[in-house]
């Protein structure tokens, strides 16, 4: 049934690539229902887009498929006020508003700025992997620390508070999974005064007054994160880092709050999913892993293939701005249109033997970082971090010591646990 494409539980056992393959052939643009999931009410349904060419067309055509009208998540915001708030986020803007916001933060992600970070990222990756040697570890926890540490470094978040970034991202990206929805790993006694004050603002319940669950991306659900953002802004206002550039760049209050959200969550999730997913893919393809070890010069193309084969984000939503047709399918103005990166990355018309994992694949026109105006601003930084980690892993013996556990999410292609043992040969 097509509803499996929507249901979060589907993805707890794996991405439904066979269903995607069938739909690319039989119904490349088709209607998907949104049944109720636990306490979350049913939605109106949406148009799903599965072919690579159609996905690219949607992503590069904001005049036809808006990020702003209904925001970019499949599920509609609970209230008009929630929608208005998230519309201030760069992710949920169309040009020219999107272009203005992107210019404000682009300086933090230029090649020159990333090169200045490379040596510290390499050192951090080395220390994380070295500390994990000769012990039974959960690689997801180890890998998650690098993007959190990097973001804290860029944003000027004190080291003792960086775990808060991890927890906020967990609450947002894992809200469909009971284990992640209420995750709290920060050591409250070790937080800075700013961190402790923010945690005191954490909502006691994530239920609305009517008993329904609160939108995890809403201002109310993330009250503690936004309190921290404002405290950090006051502390950084006189500095010359990314926070001060955002503050002096003309952001409104809601725009600033949502920019902090975007850094803390979107800047975290790609690597938190991509690094463990990449390692698991290598472990499941030992011949390719051996090939990479024998020829580490293939690492850049191997990273791209990991991203194609295990896309960290599986889909994004747009909203039709007018009555139109997509692949001969009529779509009405205001209807949801959801592009599936995970399907586009396996499109047979673009990728030879798309279900094979080939670390030397080239060209590799994957859409894991998006396409068009919203192409991921942090893509270069993400690649730098992935290369740093896998360079440290290649010389090691890596043994799986338990079964991986996937995140129940129809948005994030995540692992919750990957038990391994790392050791020197």
| pLDDT in 10s for each residue of the chain, 425 residues | 799 999 999 999 999 999 999 999 999 999 999 999 988 889 999 999 999 999 999 999 999 999 999 999 999 998 898 899 889 889 999 999 999 888 888 877 778 888 888 999 999 999 999 999 999 999 999 999 999 999 888 888 999 999 999 999 888 888 888 888 777 888 999 999 999 999 999 887 777 777 777 788 888 888 999 999 888 877 755 455 566 666 666 677 677 777 888 888 887 888 999 999 999 999 999 999 999 999 999 999 999 999 999 999 999 999 999 999 999 999 999 999 999 999 999 999 999 999 999 999 999 999 999 999 999 988 999 999 999 999 999 999 999 999 999 999 999 999 999 999 999 97
pLDDT at 414: 94
Q: Which domain holds residue 190?
A: 2-424
CATH of the domain at 279: 1.10.630.10
Question: Would you state the structure tokens that stand for residue 397, as one six-digit string?
Answer: 């013996």
pLDDT at 244: 64
Sequence-distant (6+) residues with CB within 8 A of 8 are 37, 176, 177, 408, 409, 410
d(C-alpha 37, C-alpha 40), whole Å: 5
**How many CB atoms are located within 10 Å of the residue 74 CB?**
19
Cβ-contact 312, 273 below 8 angstroms: yes
Strand (E) or helix (H) holding 300: helix 299-309
Mapping DSSP to helix (H, G, I), strand (E, B) and coil, where does residue 120 land? helix
d(C-alpha 107, C-alpha 377), whole Å: 10
d(C-alpha 193, C-alpha 318), whole Å: 40
d(C-alpha 57, C-alpha 47), whole Å: 14
Please name every residue paired with 315 in a beta bridge, in sequence order, or none if there are none. Answer: 340
Burial 273-289 (b: 16+ CB within 10 A, else e): bbbbbbbbbbbebeebb
Residue written as token pair 């229902």? 33
Question: Would you state the structure tokens that stand for residue 177, as one six-digit string?
Answer: 């999974």
- Phi, psi (rounded to 5 degrees) for 406: -90, 155
Residue written as token pair 């080939």? 358
- Phi, psi (rounded to 5 degrees) for 419: -70, 125
Which among 63, 139, 26 has a CA at the least distance from the CA of 324?
Answer: 63
Which among 78, 73, 75, 109 has a CA at the least distance from the CA of 89?
Answer: 73
Count of alpha carbons within 13 angstroms of residue 419, beta-carbon side: 5
Angle of helix 379-393 versus helix 139-155 axis, rounded to 10: 140
Mapping DSSP to helix (H, G, I), strand (E, B) and coil, where does residue 316 land? strand
What total of structural domains would you count in the chain? 1
Which among 374, 371, 338 has a CA at the least distance from the CA of 92?
Answer: 374
Please name every residue paired with 257 in a beta bridge, in sequence order, or none if there are none. Answer: none
Instruction: Tell whether omega for the bond before 96 is within 30 degrees of 0, i.e. cis.
Output: yes
Helices (H), 4-157: 8-11, 17-26, 52-59, 80-86, 97-106, 111-131, 139-155
Residue written as token pair 């194609």? 308
d(C-alpha 201, C-alpha 230), whole Å: 13
């Amino acid at each position: 049934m097509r509803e499996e494409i929507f249901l979060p539980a589907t993805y707890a056992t794996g991405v439904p690539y066979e269903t995607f393959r069938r739909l690319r052939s039989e119904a490349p643009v088709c209607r998907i229902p949104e049944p109720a999931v636990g306490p979350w009410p049913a939605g109106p349904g949406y148009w799903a887009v599965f072919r690579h060419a159609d996905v690219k067309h949607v992503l590069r055509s904001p005049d036809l498929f808006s990020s702003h009208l209904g925001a970019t998540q499949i599920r509609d915001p609970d209230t008009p006020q929630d929608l208005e708030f998230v519309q201030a986020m760069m992710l949920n803007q169309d040009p020219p508003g999107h272009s203005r916001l992107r210019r404000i933060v682009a300086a933090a992600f230029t090649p020159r700025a990333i090169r200045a970070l490379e040596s510290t990222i390499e050192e951090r990756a080395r220390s994380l992997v070295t500390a994990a040697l000769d012990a039974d570890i959960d690689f997801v926890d180890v890998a998650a620390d690098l993007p959190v540490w990097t973001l804290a470094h860029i944003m000027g978040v004190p080291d003792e508070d960086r775990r808060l970034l991890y927890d906020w991202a967990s609450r947002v990206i894992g809200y469909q999974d009971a284990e992640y929805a209420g995750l709290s790993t920060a050591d409250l006694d070790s937080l800075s005064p700013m961190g402790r004050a923010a945690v005191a603002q954490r909502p006691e319940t994530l239920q609305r007054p009517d008993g329904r669950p609160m939108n995890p991306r809403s201002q109310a659900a993330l009250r503690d994160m936004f309190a921290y953002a404002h405290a950090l802004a006051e502390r950084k206002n006189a500095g010359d880092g990314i926070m001060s550039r955002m503050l002096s760049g003309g952001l409104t209050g809601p725009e600033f709050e949502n920019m902090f959200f975007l850094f803390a969550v979107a800047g975290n999730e790609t690597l938190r999913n991509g690094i463990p997913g990449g390692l698991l893919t290598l472990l499941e393809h030992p011949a390719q892993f051996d090939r990479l070890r024998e020829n580490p010069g293939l690492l850049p193309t191997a990273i791209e293939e990991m991203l194609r084969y295990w896309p960290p984000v599986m889909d994004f939503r747009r909203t039709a701005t007018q009555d139109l047709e997509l692949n001969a399918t009529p779509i009405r103005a205001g209807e949801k249109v959801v592009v599936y990166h995970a399907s586009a990355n396996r499109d047979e018309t673009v990728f030879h033997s798309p279900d094979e994992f080939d670390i030397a694949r080239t060209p590799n026109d994957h859409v894991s970082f998006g396409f068009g105006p919203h192409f991921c601003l942090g893509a270069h930084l993400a690649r730098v971090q992935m290369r740093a980690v896998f360079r440290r892993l290649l010389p090691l013996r890596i043994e799986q010591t338990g079964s991986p556990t996937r995140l129940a999410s129809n948005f994030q292609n995540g692992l919750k646990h990957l038990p391994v043992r790392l050791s020197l040969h």
